[in-house]
Amino acid sequence: MSSGAKALNRTGRNARRNKPAGSAQVASNRTDGRNTALPPTVEAGRAVALNKQGDDFYDKGQYAEAVEVYKMAISARPDESTYYNNLGAAYYNLKRYDEAAAAFRKATELKSDDADAFSNLGNTLGNLGRYDEAAEAFKQATRLEPEWTEAYANLGDAYLNGGKYAEAIPAYQSALRLDHQDEVAQTNIGFAYYKLKRYSEAIDALKHATQTKPDDSVAWGNLGAAFFMAGQYAEAVEAFKRAVQLKPGDVEALNNLGVAHYTLKQYEEAIVVFKQAIEQKPEMAEAYYNLGNAYNMQGKYGEAVQTYQQAVRYKKNYSEAYNNLGTAYNSMKQYEEAVAAFTQAVSLSPDSAVTYNNLGFAYDRLGRQNEALEAYRKAVSLKPDYAPAYNNLGYLYHRMAKHDDAIAALQKAVSLQPDFAYAHYNLGSAYVSAGRFPEAIEAYKKATSYKKDFIEALLNLGAAYYKAARFNESVEAFKQAIALKPDSSDAHTHLGNAYFKAGKYNEAANSFRQAIKLKPDSA
């Protein structure tokens, strides 16, 4: 299957949050009638004029010119934090974030109670990917201005982008305490809970976000992802549908909607949606992969092959798609092509036990038993608790008449997965080949207990009882097989033999007559 539904991280940092301020205005001098203030020096007056000139450039979007003039203002008055803040804002708009950060940091050093400068520093550090430092700057801003909604929201963004989801939640909650309608904070709280795998709380937060802003496609998409991971697939479908309605070209939402349909075994609906995603984004490898999986589940192996080929065309290193391409070829009995696909998959993901197991199966079908053994052994070495590979390994040993090896591998398979009916069945067959009929009987009984309609296991159970001279029990096993498949001539024949050995000759005759009736040429 695919990687699953995805939540979308939409922090809104620097888009809706507190951008670096433009030019902060210098307060005008006021007097109260007392001539106590010293007159500004000539240099201070020149600095004010230069700062004003920088503001004019800034307001016109001429940030490079603003930088040069602000630097001149700083030269005239290097102890004025406002000028450093303004210089940082100009650098920021030029995307010269390292220089912006240095300017904002200098502003905070000169004026340690400047919440704006700390906030601007945090935004800049965030753009540099220095999220821990950004968080410290925003924390200082909130200490200086405890009622500043945007600072708390930006603090949450810094934590979220830095992967500190548990710390992000209380920061966003503080923002929401000040602004109950902050839908982005609500959405991001939901995303943080999602990343922490606290899906119930994520659902609650994202429901709140969609109620606050019903037309937010991202919130609906994230809600769908949370529902999906909580196992509420029908609810996930409805949420993803809403996201797609609000933003029809959202390929992630379309893909996730398809995954939810797929998980509900609604393969036709999934196919329609995956095709829509591909129409929107023809190079979307994951959508091709998921579409191939849906075709596979419908038994449309030819379509699956073509679709997986598109997936690997657009994503050359897509090992999962190569693996599933191989499984589709296996289903079509095109084992040479399957080997090629699985070989490519293991070259891309050499630690994939599943793919080595699949490769072994394809080799086995081609009669290349030594290569199959090598692949199965590799699978169990990579994943020592992988019961299917032990089952396949044991079955191959059994067919190679390596009875002890077969029994050991199959015992390992059933110890790892006690309800693995096919492994119990194969173990029974290995015991029969080794002449160990009591153990074979127990293995076949286990197989039928885990798979009630396992007619092959019932037939073999009857045969094992027969070989152990337990004819009455053999009769009962064959009767159970016939109850599942009344038209099985072979089952009636075996039942007749068991009746005969049990001394029930009339019943034996009736069973033989029924076998001949079902298959006249067997007489």
Query: What is the per-residue pLDDT across 254-269, written as a single tens digit (0 to 9) for each?
Result: 999 999 999 999 999 9
pLDDT at residue 246, as a whole number:
97
Torsion of Cα atoms, 447 then 452 then 456 then 462, to 10°: 80
pLDDT band (50, 70, 90) for residue 523: low
Instruction: Please say whether the dihedral angle defined by the alpha carbons of residues 45, 50, 56 and 59, taken in this order, is positive or negative.
Output: negative
Would you say residue 249 has pLDDT above 50? yes
Q: What distances in angstroms separate CA 342 from CA 70, 306, 318, 349, 350, one per listed residue?
A: 63, 16, 12, 10, 11
Which tokens hold the place of 2? 């695919």
Contact 123, 104 (CB under 8 A): no
pLDDT at residue 45, as a whole number:
85
Which tokens hold the place of 303? 């379509």
Number of residues that this document lists for the chain: 523
Would you say residue 13 has pLDDT above 50? no
Query: What is the per-residue pLDDT across 488-502, written as a single tens digit (0 to 9) for each?
Result: 999 999 999 999 999
Across the range 172-194, mean pLDDT stands at: 94
Would you say residue 513 has pLDDT above 70? yes
Which tokens hold the place of 305? 């092959």
Would you say residue 247 has pLDDT above 70? yes
Would you say residue 357 has pLDDT above 50? yes
Q: Structural domain boundaries of the chain?
A: 1-20+41-179
Query: What is the per-residue pLDDT across 132-180, written as a single tens digit (0 to 9) for each?
Result: 999 999 999 999 999 999 999 999 999 999 999 999 999 999 999 999 9
Q: What distances in angstroms separate CA 288 from CA 30, 49, 85, 259, 358, one per listed residue?
A: 70, 62, 50, 12, 21
CATH hierarchy code of domain 1-20+41-179: 1.25.40.10
pTM of the model: 0.82
Query: What is the chain's mean pLDDT, rounded?
Result: 91
pLDDT at residue 41, as a whole number:
59
Would you say residue 338 has pLDDT above 50? yes
Would you say residue 80 has pLDDT above 90? yes
CB atoms < 10 A from the CB of 501, how many? 16
Residues with Cβ within 8 Å of 437's Cβ and at least 6 positions away in sequence, in order, are: 431, 464, 467, 468
Query: What is the per-residue pLDDT across 32-62, written as a single tens digit (0 to 9) for each?
Result: 222 223 345 567 788 999 999 999 999 999 9
Contact 168, 192 (CB under 8 A): yes
pLDDT at residue 34, as a whole number:
24
Contact 189, 222 (CB under 8 A): no
> Rounded CA gap, 405 and 398, in Å?
8
Which tokens hold the place of 78? 């290097």
DSSP 208-222: HHHHH-TT-HHHHHH
Query: What is the per-residue pLDDT across 441-452, written as a single tens digit (0 to 9) for each?
Result: 999 999 999 999
Structure letter (DSSP) for residue 265: T
Would you say residue 301 has pLDDT above 90? yes
> Rounded CA gap, 373 and 396, in Å?
8
Which tokens hold the place of 39? 């007159």
pLDDT at residue 520, as a whole number:
85
Which tokens hold the place of 298? 């419908």
Query: What is the per-residue pLDDT across 370-419, written as a single tens digit (0 to 9) for each?
Result: 999 999 999 999 999 999 999 999 999 999 999 999 999 999 999 999 99
Q: What distances in angstroms separate CA 255 from CA 284, 290, 303, 322, one per listed residue?
A: 10, 8, 18, 20
pLDDT at residue 349, as a whole number:
98
Q: N- to C-terminal Cα distance for the chain? A: 50
Would you say residue 28 has pLDDT above 60? no
Among candidates 211, 215, 149, 221, which has minimal Cα distance to 185? Answer: 149
pLDDT band (50, 70, 90) for residue 522: low
Query: What is the per-residue pLDDT across 97-144, written as a single tens digit (0 to 9) for each?
Result: 999 999 999 999 999 999 999 999 999 999 999 999 999 999 999 999
- Stretch among 13-17, 38-42, 482-486 having the lowest mean pLDDT: 13-17
> Rounded CA gap, 221 and 209, in Å?
11
